[in-house]
Amino acid sequence: MIVVMKVGSSQSEIDGVINRIKELNLGIHLSQGEEHTIIGVLGQTFPELQDMLRLLPNVEDVIPIGKPYKLASKEFHPQNTIVTVKDVVIGGDEIVVMAGPCAVENEDQLLSTAREVQAAGANILRGGAFKPSTSPYSFRGLGLEGLKMLAKAREETGMPVITEVMTPGDVDVVASYADILQVGARNMQNFFLLDEVGKIKKPVMLKRGLSSTIQEWLLAAEYILSQGNEQLILCERGIRTFETATRNTMDISAIPIIKLQSHLPIIADPSHATGQWNLVSPVALASIAAGADGLMIEVHPDPNSALKDGAQSLTFDNFQHLMTSLKPIAQAIGRKLSSGGI
């Protein structure tokens, strides 16, 4: 951490900062610039220190040095994390595709979708049993019944399933049915939930919050990692900006940034990022070209009767087209699609 004193600070103000640092058993390194005196803090600092020092008289700024997360950083963990779910490997050479309906609506809808996406090459079945919903008057999911349908679809197809858990009290029950637990965008800073999914022995996929910086996202990942769960996957799903032509704005640069700063695998979700089915394929291809380890795609047998997010769901045909377009893109960057159902 570095303390920048205002121009014209007196010796006693500078000493005030130095003494405060020393009281906390930290060392200092003094540097006199043309205009500003700068005091480097030596030793193990902590997040609150920034505020503590900023308040001292004539301090202009206090600048933290280094990243505030360690377990999630590539610097301290150079080897890439690979998460294995049954025979699906996430974060390796192969591109993984998670597909399925936004919400589990009934057995037929789920099973028919599972079979179709598997046939088209998807590796993991997605489907929401507990659904976050902006309005209390919207469909909120089938809950436990939905979890059971997911388990049944897994039995019938052999595909691992991923589904969202929304509250700490549900972690155990969701973990008993699902192969991967998803923490949704609105819960990225639900810290008790992060603690709980950090304690289980199953993989977790952590979506980026709608207005979270990449640093906050990696700090949320740090919560899970610091509880001991290292089977962690990140998912970029768009951020909130002023643009209203799309539901969110896919932050495509977040993909290579995560690859540079972290060892965790990263999945892209073009369905939520765009909110519009005819933008899903181009943004999916772009995400793989940018280096994502996989995709999460919403597919529905009949999007215009979907109970949730129909506008962003692909039909079976459109999903198959996407998978066909995806193959040469994966090859172009030296990767391939995971074998899938064919």
Write out the binding residues for a copy of itself, residues 92-151 only, by CB under 8 A: 132-140
Asked whether the beta carbons of 312 and 277 are under 8 A apart, the reply is: yes
Taking the least distance from each CB to a copy of itself, the nearer of 42 and 87 is: 42
Q: Which of 15, 75, 108, 145 binds a copy of itself (CB under 8 A)?
A: 75
Note whether 19 binds a copy of itself by CB under 8 A. Answer: no
| DSSP-derived secondary structure for 109-162 | HHHHHHHHHHHHT--EEE-BSS---SSTTS----THHHHHHHHHHHHHH---EE
Of the pair 126, 208, the CB lying nearest a copy of itself is at: 208
Q: CB 176: neighbour CB atoms within 10 A?
A: 10
Using CB under 8 A as the binding rule, whether residue 56 contacts a copy of itself is answered as yes
CB of 35 to a copy of itself, least distance (A): 6
Rounded Cα gap, residues 275 and 292, in angstroms:
19
Residue 213 interacting with a copy of itself (CB under 8 A): yes
Q: Which of 198, 153, 213, 207 is nearest to 178 (CA)?
A: 153
| 228 scored as a contact of a copy of itself (CB under 8 A) | no
With CB under 8 A as the contact rule, the residue among 143, 173, 311, 320 that binds a copy of itself is: 311
Half-sphere exposure of residue 103, counting CA atoms within 13 Å on the CB side? 20
- How far is residue 125's CA from residue 160's CA, in Å, rounded to a whole number? 6
Segment near a copy of itself (CB under 8 A); pick from 80-88, 111-119, 146-154, 213-221: 213-221
Residue ranges in 260-279 that form contacts with a copy of itself under rule CB under 8 A: 260, 273-274, 277-279
Judged by CB under 8 A, the chain residues 159 through 188 that form the site for a copy of itself are: 166-169, 186-187
What is the rounded end-to-end Cα distance, in angstroms, of the chain?
54
Does residue number 336 form part of the binding site for a copy of itself (CB under 8 A)?
A: no
- The answer to whether residue 305 forms part of the interface with a copy of itself (CB under 8 A) is yes
Query: Does residue 79 touch a copy of itself according to CB under 8 A?
Result: no
